Structure 1
Amino acid sequence: MGAKNVLVVTDPKMAQMSPVKQVVDSLTKNKINFSLYDQQHAIDAARKNSYDLYISVGGGSVIDTCKVANLYSADPEAELLDYVNAPIGKGLPVKVKLAPHIAVPTTSGTGSETTGVAIFDHKPLKAKTGMGSRALRPTLGIVDPLHALLMPERVAAFSGFDVLCHALESFTAIPFNERSPCPDHPILRPAYQGSNPVSDLWSIQALKIISKYFKRSVYDAGDYEARSQMHFASCLAGIGFGNAGVHLCHGMSYPISGNVKTFQPPDYGKEKSIIPHGLSVVITAPAVFNFTAPICPERHIEAAEVLGSDTRNIKKDDAGKDVLRKYMYELKIEDGLNSLGYDKSDIPELVKGTLPQ
């Protein structure tokens, strides 16, 4: 890529680990000037220098942060909400040229190395929101299965459920040819265009891998085959939902994580309360797919069968929720919003954060 000045974006913990060391050693060996940034104000850091290559090393939050830093350094006059999706932001189209971006995922979850989407916490709304443009998609993704061996058990579990929901939501999204209004030309379709024959291939293949390897990957960090396959599934599901989009599980997850009170899961440290993204997504999934199944039972049944469910005598409305509950129980996932510290009084705030998504 001919880079001469590189910004490496990561987080404080990952900055001390082998994936970042490999990147730093490679840049140093090849005498390429670089800066390492592991804090939250990445836009300011990017705007202070003229970087001609961005490298993100970490989970989805790190990769998304790098996407945003790249965008706003390319457009130094832009305000944060200019590119944020409407109705929260202005949703302006990206017309500036971004620098190349190499994304190196270290968790098997978001698939952010494959998508043109960036998600972040919007504190005024107490919810996550984001921006989407094909221009944000990384130039190159390096999906190294060895990095997946670094995840603790709960990180592997919650990240894996993000993969599962990406695949299920994109497969059960409104079909691209049923969206209304229909764009005048295919090139005008949004990045999230609805389920389609291409995204279906990625989503179903991801579900097949999940069915075989998810549980193994959580309970045995040394199971190289399972961890590497889930890393691959994350990439496949990312390509799938990057074309089709996601729906209710993710839409409702943003205020669930944004309004966190005192919840502190194992393996995430005690520095602050956090509801990990994958947990905030899957916690509503059984209810979501119970709601969506009657609209298109055939797709829900097909997905449930791929995940290992015997659907021969099952009610059409139950296929999606039952198989999800089974996975959640076997992987020791919290049960309902109460388990995350919420009660009925929180519902209005959660709804408020969901509706703009």
Structure 2
Amino acid sequence: MGCCHHYQTVAEGCDSAFTVDTSRVTFGRGCLAEVGERARALGMTRVALFSDERLARLPFFQTVLQSLKAAGLDVVPYTHVHVEPTDQSILEAARFAAEARPDGYVSLGGGSVIDTCKGANLYATHPADFLAYVNAPVGEGRAVPGPLEPHIACPTTSGTGSEVTGITIFDLLSLGAKTGIASPRLRPTEALIDPDCTATLPSEVTAASGMDVLSHALESYTARPYVRRPAPARPSLRPMSQGANPWSDLGCREALRLMGQYLERAVTDAEDREAREQLMWASTLAGIAFGNAGVHAPHGMAYAVAGAVRDFRPSGYPQEEPLVPHGMAVIVNAPAVFRYTAEVSPERHLEAAQWLGADVRGATPGDAGEVLAGRVLQLMRAVGMPNGLSGVGYTEADVDTLTEGAFPQQRLLQNAPRDMSKPVLSGLFRQALRYW
């Protein structure tokens, strides 16, 4: 299933073209050992190596460190990355980078590490008030004024896709919600994606990060088509969140097929190397897709869910402070959202459900939202996701707070195929409180 019939008619005043952009990608077991040679080829001589304290004790960190040193490079490690970064933790990393003065960056870790490295590279290279580059209306949304230092991203989770996107996400502590910075200049120069890195991931982390992949692909596939997005005043102003397009569709379809086939296996059996490798590949495909199409409401709502957390501490993650892992914060909203958005493009929602493995025989357009939501809920239950927002500590009394935290995420909400006003968001949060 799936074709380009959604893109044949350009709405008046809307764009008639889309842009394809991504990092250079190397994928395969053992490719971490290539990092030294690749860094040297990019002209690096002094490398800031970003990771976190847990990863710094694992063999993968030594593989990267030794490869960089074997290439004759000076390495300055930074391992104080905060799980789910904040504006303060990114500023601390930027101060380190400004003092260390590297001419290149290598990040080894999940989305928190890669996003922190992007932020440090940005603010050390082009210093400014923190809110200057943050997405409007939360920040100024100022364009990044020039190139950053080269960055090689080495993901260790099969989830965020940050290694191939120009987006960095963090908690803005004053807002009590997540927000981000989006610019093609933030996109890592290269990505080295080694599936061996996922072998030691706890099943809970594999489940949450896998749900992030799932929603990346679903949101990009169901996003407002690029031919329904207002044309930019200049081609250089075309946003990265362009809407669904033929290129992003390719990655979304294959990522969805792989998730439907391998997600449960990868979570329930850590020794299933094939399943974990396929999840890593799905993450890369979905990352490239949403890096060119953009996600929409489940992610916009997730930034409020993660930012307003009170006392939820998931197993498999550090227990020092409350945390709703990003993929978990996203997926608890997704079934409610897809039930709502299916009315606009039922064929897309049914196609997505079929790629995920749902039986769509006999389904009508009116069934699309329920069929897709039903398949997502099956997968959520199979891998131990919470029962909606109530499962991570929220109640009906929190709906207004969550709505206020989500509504400023206009970069994401405007990419949704249906209106995402405050009343709509409140209704979706209520529907997401409990599913079963």
Q: Is 1:119 matched up with 2:173?
A: no
Corresponding residue number in structure 2 for 1:47: 98
Residue identity opposite 1:219 in structure 2: T
Mind listing any 5+ residue stretches in structure 2 that lack a counterpart? Answer: 1-41, 81-88, 410-436
Aligned mates of 1:191, 1:270 — CA distance in 2:
35
Match of 2:368 among 316, 319, 342: 316
Corresponding residue number in structure 1 for 2:78: 37
Q: CA RMSD in A?
A: 1.1
Aligned mates of 1:2, 1:103 — CA distance in 2:
16
> Following superposition of structure 1 onto structure 2, how do residues 229-268 of structure 1 map, counting pairs within 5 Å?
229-268=278-317
Match of 1:153 among 203, 227, 232: 203
Contact 2:336 2:373 in 1 (8 A): yes
> Offset at 1:328?
0.9
Q: Secondary structure, in 3 states, of the residue corresponding to 1:265?
A: coil
Q: Is 1:25 matched up with 2:66?
A: yes
> Offset at 1:246?
0.4
Aligned mates of 1:192, 1:271 — CA distance in 2:
35
> Offset at 1:345?
1.6
Aligned mates of 1:44, 1:100 — CA distance in 2:
18
TM-score when scaled to structure 1?
Answer: 0.97
Corresponding residue number in structure 1 for 2:180: 130
Aligned mates of 1:249, 1:317 — CA distance in 2:
14
Corresponding residue number in structure 1 for 2:243: 194
> Offset at 1:208?
1.1
Structure 2 vs 1, CA of residues 198 and 260 (structure 1 numbering), >3 Å: closer, same or farther?
same
Match of 1:353 among 381, 405, 418: 405
Instruction: Map Cα deviations across residues 155-175 of structure 1 (whole Å, 9 max, x no partner).
Output: 000000000000000000000
Instruction: Map Cα deviations across residues 68-127 of structure 1 (whole Å, 9 max, x no partner).
Output: 111111113x11111000000100111222100000000000000000000011001111
Q: Is 1:7 matched up with 2:51?
A: no
Residue identity opposite 1:124 in structure 2: S
Corresponding residue number in structure 1 for 2:391: 339
Aligned mates of 1:254, 1:305 — CA distance in 2:
28
Contact 2:208 2:325 in 1 (8 A): yes
Corresponding residue number in structure 2 for 1:69: 120
Corresponding residue number in structure 2 for 1:207: 256
Aligned mates of 1:186, 1:177 — CA distance in 2:
14
Q: Secondary structure, in 3 states, of the residue corresponding to 1:222?
A: coil
Q: Secondary structure, in 3 states, of the residue corresponding to 2:281?
A: helix
Corresponding residue number in structure 1 for 2:228: 178
Aligned mates of 1:2, 1:178 — CA distance in 2:
41
Aligned mates of 1:89, 1:124 — CA distance in 2:
12
The alignment of Structure 1 onto Structure 2 pairs a total of residues equal to 355
> Offset at 1:66?
0.3
Residue identity opposite 1:160 in structure 2: G
Contact 2:76 2:100 in 1 (8 A): no
Corresponding residue number in structure 1 for 2:318: 269
Mind listing any 5+ residue stretches in structure 1 that lack a counterpart? Answer: none
Aligned mates of 1:49, 1:334 — CA distance in 2:
42
Corresponding residue number in structure 1 for 2:110: 59
Aligned mates of 2:244, 2:279 — CA distance in 1:
22
